[in-house]
Amino acid sequence: MRYGLFQLDSDELPVVVRTRAATTTSTAPTYIKQSIVRRKRVSSNARSTRPDLCFARDIIGTPFRILPVMPPRRTNPSPYAKVDRYRELVTKASLALDPLSSDKLSTARSSAAESFVTPIQREMEEARRFLESLTISKPQAALARDKDPDAEIKDALKQVADMRNEHNKKLLQIQKEKEEHTRQLEERKVQEKKEKEDAERQKKEQQQAKPKTPILKHTTATPIKTLPPAKLTEPSIGNSSSSTPAAEEWASNYRKMYTYLMSDIAPTVKNNKTNKDFCFKQRGIIVRSFGQLKDSQEFVSRISGTVIQLVSQSPTGVEQWMLNLVAKAIVKQAEKEVSVAHHAAFPLAAATVLVMRRFPQLADMLLVRLVKKCPYVIPEYVARKDGQSVEEYLRSIGYKEKDDDELETENIYVERMAGMIALFAAIVQTADASGVADAQKHPLSIHLGWTWLARMVNLSPRAISPLLVHTFLSIAGPSMLAAYGKQLHKLLDVLAGEWIAEIKSSKDPVAVAATSNLCGFLDDYKKTGNTN
């Protein structure tokens, strides 16, 4: 360690500070002129023998303590605190006093202490007076609680009890409202049921009062597979059922299959939570997939591949139900999209045939759904039964209910039926990937289309018949002509002659428009020789 001596002016006291040898950047106040007195190193023994080297005040002879050159560092850059001001006052007073005058030093220290203490005393006195002026009094509730410590607990328990009572009252009120609402609904249902029964009874009485119209018996020709049909039978009256025995037997098999699905397969799936959740999830994906179909090979391949993968992942015993869901989604897409634009049937049919190649059982599931939704696929004209209301009859032939519980209009119904016939025609005319549309590779081949068309011609036409036949021929006509040639030519001649002649007498607007379109199609075929 080295010691430095600060030389002061004549009117200032000498102040000695101790600095480290390595410190070269320390600065003193501007009023101090610093001169470093360098001394030789001495040993610790020499320091003890020469005290003037240890403490500078021994050399100077001053009775004052050594003061630091640098002012104290402030950690807070805010204005000086009172302690800092006091230290500065003391420092200045010490420097200004004569080193030999202890009276001046005492006076300076006293004045500095007084200037530091006086403001503090003044503030303390003001604070004391302020506190004395304050009067704090407890509220009456607090005084009561002080007298009775359990009063606060009693108040809290009372509030809880009041809240509980209010909540119970609300629950009772809600329960009463629910019971009243349920009672009103039951009364309304009973009243509506009674009114419906009265209306049906009145209709039945009116029908019984009218003389019954005799139903003419008729015979139908057997379906022809290789030859065009012979002459048509006499048309039956409008409210009589009409179908061929072979068609009825064919449809009966698919109706039994639907009953088996609903009574045996459906409960086993719905009672198993794992299988039920699996089918519910996959059904949504299947419906969305068919809804995204477009008329391109890429979309058809991708959608059919997705459906095949979903069905392949089915747990044991669920595959048949999954194929039923696929068939249901296909028919639903035909009702929704194909009914509006018949050309949408081609990509839908192509995807269906690709899935059918992997799962041939899909053909039966698809026919089950078509027979249930569209009786004209059989074909069959359902008659209204005795005592059957108009709404019940319309539901039996495929009319759907709208959101407001009313039946759809005739135009919407006819469009839906034509959409499903368009899907049927597109499927039977779609060839297998090998290019051959035979029954071994394609369960729903073009032979099924010929059977359907022959049955339609063998039945007495109805108002909807020309629309269905025209829809079928406009889609499957080229494939039918390529497969049957002259036989189809003869069948179309029968259509253009006697069959259409029976419809022209009808004044139904649907029949009139559809007959005009069918006649135009047949005229073009006669002129060009093709069914495009």
Q: Where are the domains of the chain?
A: 1-70, 80-133, 163-206, 245-528
pLDDT digits (tens, 9 = 90+) for 335-345: 999 999 999 99
Backbone region of residue 485 per phi and psi (left: phi > 0; alpha: psi in -120 to 50; beta: other values): left
The band of 434, judged by pLDDT with boundaries at 50, 70 and 90, is: very low
Q: For 501-529, what is the mean pLDDT?
A: 86
84-95 pLDDT per residue, tens: 777 777 677 666
CATH 1.25.40.510 matches 245-528: yes
- pLDDT of amino acid 148: 62
Given a contact cutoff of 8 angstroms between Cβ atoms, the answer to whether 233 and 219 are in contact is: yes
Q: What is the pLDDT of residue 263?
A: 92
Tell me the percentage of the chain whose pLDDT exceeds 90.
Answer: 37
Cβ distance 531 to 525 under 8 Å? yes
Q: What tokens were used for 474?
A: 């406009």
In angstroms, the CA 222 to CA 32 distance is 136
Helix 319-333 and helix 345-358, axial crossing angle in degrees, nearest 10: 170
Contacts of 365 (CB under 8 A, 6+ apart): 320, 323, 324, 326, 327
Instruction: Give percent of the chain above pLDDT 70.
Output: 70
> How far is residue 329 from each of residues 285, 288, 427, 440, measured CA to CA in Å?
10, 9, 15, 25
Per-position b or e across 164-188, b if 16+ CB within 10 A of its CB: eeeeeeeeeeeeeeeeeeeeeeeee
pLDDT value at residue 82: 63
- Asked whether residue 290 carries a pLDDT value surpassing 90, the answer given is yes
Specify the long-range contacts of residues 322-325, CB closer than 8 Å, at least 24 apart: 322/279, 322/282, 323/359, 323/361, 323/362, 323/365, 324/261, 324/265, 324/365, 324/368, 324/369, 325/279, 325/282, 325/283, 325/286
Cβ–Cβ < 8 Å for 428, 476: yes
Neighbouring-strand partners of residue 33: 7
- Distance between CA atoms of 350 and 114, rounded to whole angstroms? 108
Decide if pLDDT at 22 tops 60: no
- Eight-state DSSP code of residue 237: P
Identity of the amino acid at 229: P
* pLDDT: which is higher, 322 or 385: 322
**CA distance linking residue 416 with residue 400, whole number of Å:** 10
Helical packing angle, 486-494 and 446-458, nearest 10°: 30
Given a cut of 60, is residue 215 above it in pLDDT? no
pLDDT score recorded for residue 414: 94
* Longest CA pairwise span in the chain (Å): 155
Among residues 278, 372, 291, which one has the least CA distance to residue 322?
A: 278
Contact by Cβ (8 Å): 278, 318: yes
Residue 261: is its pLDDT beyond 60?
yes
pLDDT at 338: 92
Nearest alpha-carbon partner for 334 in 416, 265, 448: 416
Band of residue 173 on the pLDDT scale cut at 50, 70, 90: confident
Residue 381: pLDDT band (50, 70, 90) is very high
Mind listing the pLDDT tens digit for each residue in 124-159?
888 888 888 876 666 666 666 565 667 777 788 888
pLDDT tier, 220 (very low <50, low <70, confident <90, very high otherwise):
very low
